[in-house]
Amino acid sequence: MDAREYWYDTGINVSDLSSLRLSASGLITWNPGQNNAIAPPEGVKDRPRDFRGTGFPDYNERCGALLMKIGNTIYTAGSNMSIDLSGVNGDETVKLMVNDSD
Evaluate whether residue 36 is within a structural domain: yes
> Is 2 inside a domain boundary?
no
Domain extent for 49: 8-98
Residue 14 inside a domain? The answer is yes
Closest CA to 17 of 96, 82, 67: 82
Question: Can you give the pLDDT at residue 26?
Answer: 92
pLDDT value of position 47: 64
Closest-CA residue to 18 (of 79, 86, 88, 92)? 86
Provide the sign of the torsion angle of the four alpha carbons 10, 15, 16, 18, taken in this order: positive
Instruction: Work out how many domains the chain is built from and give that number.
Output: 1
Apex 48 CA angle, 58 and 88, nearest 5: 10
pLDDT (tens place) for every residue of the chain, 102 residues total: 776 778 999 999 998 888 999 999 999 887 667 777 788 999 887 665 666 556 778 878 888 899 999 999 999 998 999 999 887 877 889 999 998 876
